[in-house]
Amino acid sequence: MIEPQAKRVRTCIGCGAQSGKASLHRFVRSADGTVSFDPTGRKPGRGAYVCSAECLESAFKARKLQRALKCGIDQGSAEGLMADFLEALGSSR
């Protein structure tokens, strides 16, 4: 069976779970080097995906997020990302 190319599988950088784009949440590093949560999944830049807040936190602590995005993320920025992420999750439920 040949899958259409549009059906891309993403991998959570926290736990390694694979799923379609809709159930993973994207973080993106823009051209100026800032990392932000991307609720639309359409921002330009290098992206990384996580499935949950727990995975975001563990990916940050294990420096997987930094590696995936190829940039440094300080504690304050990570807390901001987490806050944005939790807010977005809260509003979508």
Residues lying near Zn ion in the complex (CB under 5 A) are found at 12, 14-15, 17, 51, 55
From the CB of 2, what's the least distance to Zn ion, in Å?
A: 28
From the CB of 66, what's the least distance to Zn ion, in Å?
A: 17
Two structure tokens written together for 16: 């390694």
Name the residue nearer to Zn ion (CB basis): 18 or 34: 18
Name the residue nearer to Zn ion (CB basis): 33 or 63: 63
Q: How far is CA 58 from the centre of its chain?
A: 12
Eight-class DSSP state of 6: T
Q: Which helix (H) or strand (E) holds 29?
A: strand 25-29
From the CB of 54, what's the least distance to Zn ion, in Å?
A: 7
Name the residue with tokens 């779970």: 17
Using CA atoms, how far apart are residues 83 and 31, in angstroms rounded to an integer?
22
Name the residue nearer to Zn ion (CB basis): 19 or 30: 19
